[in-house]
């Protein structure tokens, strides 16, 4: 057993495999630095593998390399209006008093190869070609010069048609840049479409396909197993002779939410189920999952009542894991923990299992457990232990788990935005009823010891971007959280924010959104 962390708490200097006995919480910034260091070390090996996928299957995946255009687009000039292609120098002297006359010698549609025409004046008539939107420009057979101007139909007057063809009259000389999409005006050769580590969205597929690409090299998908522990939960695992009464059990909100949030980021999040707070069951289940070497990360929520991850910590010790921290100075989410696990060579107790992995849905159980399919083996995973209170769990997922996932997969670090604090009508009414002064009182209180996180609603306003933070801060209530769209962060040591103050805001949506 290694020595406890010193009062200076410098986890970033410790060996990645070290087991740490925490006696005091690490600060939020210390936790993030440690998470970043471990993620960076594991990301080096993860980044070596790649998948080559078709474009329609690349949405939500992380690019392995920069996506750069292999050639300029468009590769040739194209018409942006229907009209007549001309050599602009032929019409340089055209005016209302001395209009130029043209003979239509051909027609081109989008997708047609450029036709060659004689670029010589005949009987006082210059040649032109009728073209449609998207068609290339014709080429002069005589000089090899490409026709470089386009005259819209409405700017040319037909003066006669017949055996000698359609004859036009033009009084305004065209500019070479008018009504034309110039080659290379969209993407230059080597132009950046999406940087390495970016999350692919449909807009990137449009751009990548426009330069002629049909496949993309992406990183392997991160696999995350989400597990909930609690005797108060409706379990998803059948235990012999222990059929719980659903009347006194609650549904697991954390597990499905966390798995869905990971999938929103582009990871492969699996909800593995809800387990009772039983050491044999939890250890056996995790040992079985470790033996499959399928997941890169485990996220475990536990402790609706106590707020601690006691069962999770016991399981980590039983599995020979390394605990990096078990408390973080943040609110909510102070009991969050982070550890590294090792994949066992052979499951303990042979094939003995303390749960039934193929349970079917019934009135006793919330949902059947998920058993991962066989796949490529992964390295030793890490585990995040999150509080059981839903809002605390969501805060830890957003500010502890998400940064690990982003750095592990090579995605760039997220940037915050600034917004002015605005008191909601409900908050204003409550304060006025209590005789409180609105401008002076804090809407969000800060702390000398903790980083504070509150969910709110960010929106645009005549005065700029504002964020509203409601009064209801119960970490177990899902209804206020369901109407929110952002997190407000008050760093440790800050007093807080009053009405009109500028706060740091992180939107709920992931890069994939």
Domain ranges, ordered by start, for the chain? 26-49+220-409, 51-70+193-219, 78-181, 417-507
**199 band by pLDDT with thresholds 50, 70 and 90:** confident
Three-class SS of 92-119: CCCCCCCCEEEEEEEEECCCCCCCEECC
Q: pLDDT class for 301, splitting at 50, 70, 90?
A: very high
Q: What percentage of residues in the chain have a pLDDT greater than 70?
A: 81
Return the higher-pLDDT residue of 178 and 261.
Answer: 261
Strand partners, 180: 79
Q: What is the CATH number of domain 51-70+193-219?
A: 3.90.105
Pick the CATH number of 78-181 from 2.170.190.11, 3.40.50.2300, 1.10.10.10, 3.40.50.150: 2.170.190.11
Query: 229 pLDDT exceeds 70?
Result: yes
pLDDT of residue 303: 62
Look up residue 505 and give its two tokens.
Answer: 């805001």
Residue 232 main-chain phi, psi, to 5 deg: -85, -5
Please compute Rg for the chain using Cα positions.
33
Given CATH 3.40.50.300, say whether it is the number of domain 26-49+220-409.
no
Taking only the tens place, the pLDDT of each residue in 36-94 is 999 998 887 777 778 899 999 998 888 989 999 999 999 999 999 999 999 888 888 88
Helix (H, G, I), strand (E, B), or coil: what is residue 199?
Answer: strand
d(CA 251, CA 120) in angstroms, rounded, equals: 83
Mean pLDDT over each residue of the chain, to the nearest integer: 82
Dihedral over Cα of 457, 413, 372, 322: its sign: negative
Instruction: State the pTM of this model.
Output: 0.71
Burial 252-268 (b: 16+ CB within 10 A, else e): bbbbbbbbebbbbbbbb
Distance CA 422, CA 253 (A): 30
Q: Does residue 311 have a pLDDT over 90?
A: no
CATH 2.40.340 fits 417-507, yes or no: yes
């Amino acid at each position: 057993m290694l020595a406890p962390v010193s009062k200076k708490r410098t986890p970033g200097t410790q060996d990645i495999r070290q087991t740490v006995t925490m006696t005091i919480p690490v600060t939020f910034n210390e936790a993030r630095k440690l998470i970043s260091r471990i993620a960076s070390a594991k990301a080096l090996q993860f980044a070596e593998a790649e998948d080559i996928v078709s474009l329609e299957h690349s949405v939500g995946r992380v690019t392995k390399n920069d996506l750069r255009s292999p050639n300029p687009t468009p590769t040739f000039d194209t018409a942006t209006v229907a009209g007549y292609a001309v050599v602009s120098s032929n019409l340089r002297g055209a005016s209302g008093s001395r209009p130029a006359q043209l003979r239509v010698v051909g027609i081109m549609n989008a997708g047609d190869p450029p036709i060659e025409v004689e670029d010589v004046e005949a009987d006082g008539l210059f040649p032109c070609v009728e073209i449609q939107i998207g068609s290339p420009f014709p080429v002069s057979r005589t000089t090899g010069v490409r026709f470089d101007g386009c005259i819209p139909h409405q700017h040319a007057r037909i003066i006669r048609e017949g055996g000698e063809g359609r004859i036009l009259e033009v009084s305004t000389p065209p500019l070479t840049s008018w009504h034309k999409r110039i080659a290379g005006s969209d993407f230059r050769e080597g132009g950046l479409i999406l940087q390495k580590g970016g999350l692919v969205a449909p807009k990137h597929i449009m751009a990548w396909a426009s330069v002629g690409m049909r496949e993309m090299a992406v990183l392997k998908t991160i696999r995350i197993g989400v597990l909930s522990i609690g005797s108060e939960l409706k379990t998803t695992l059948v235990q012999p002779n222990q059929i719980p009464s659903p009347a006194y059990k609650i549904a697991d909100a954390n597990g499905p939410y966390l798995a869905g949030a990971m999938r929103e980021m582009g990871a492969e999040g699996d909800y593995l189920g809800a387990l009772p707070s039983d050491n044999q069951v939890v250890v056996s289940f995790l040992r079985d999952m470790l033996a499959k070497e399928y997941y890169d990360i485990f996220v475990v929520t536990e402790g609706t009542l106590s707020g601690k991850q006691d069962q999770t910590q016991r399981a980590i010790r039983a599995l020979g894991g390394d605990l990096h921290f078990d408390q973080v100075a943040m609110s909510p989410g102070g009991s969050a923990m982070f550890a590294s696990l090792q994949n066992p060579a052979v499951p303990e107790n042979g094939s003995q299992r303390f749960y039934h992995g193929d349970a079917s849905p019934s009135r006793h159980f919330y949902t059947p457990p998920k058993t991962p399919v066989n796949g490529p083996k992964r390295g030793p995973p890490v585990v995040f232990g999150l509080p059981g209170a839903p809002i605390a769990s969501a805060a830890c997922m957003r500010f502890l788990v998400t940064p690990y996932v982003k750095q592990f997969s090579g995605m760039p670090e997220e940037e915050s935005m600034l917004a002015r604090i605005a008191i909601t009508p409900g908050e204003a009414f409550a304060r006025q009823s209590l005789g409180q002064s609105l401008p002076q009182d804090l809407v969000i209180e800060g702390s000398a010891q903790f980083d504070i996180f509150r969910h709110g609603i960010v929106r645009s306003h005549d005065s700029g971007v504002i964020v509203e933070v409601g009064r209801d801060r119960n970490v177990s209530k899902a209804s206020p959280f369901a109407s929110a769209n952002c997190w407000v962060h008050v760093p440790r040591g800050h007093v807080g924010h009053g009405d009109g103050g500028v706060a740091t805001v992180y939107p709920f949506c992931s890069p994939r959104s």
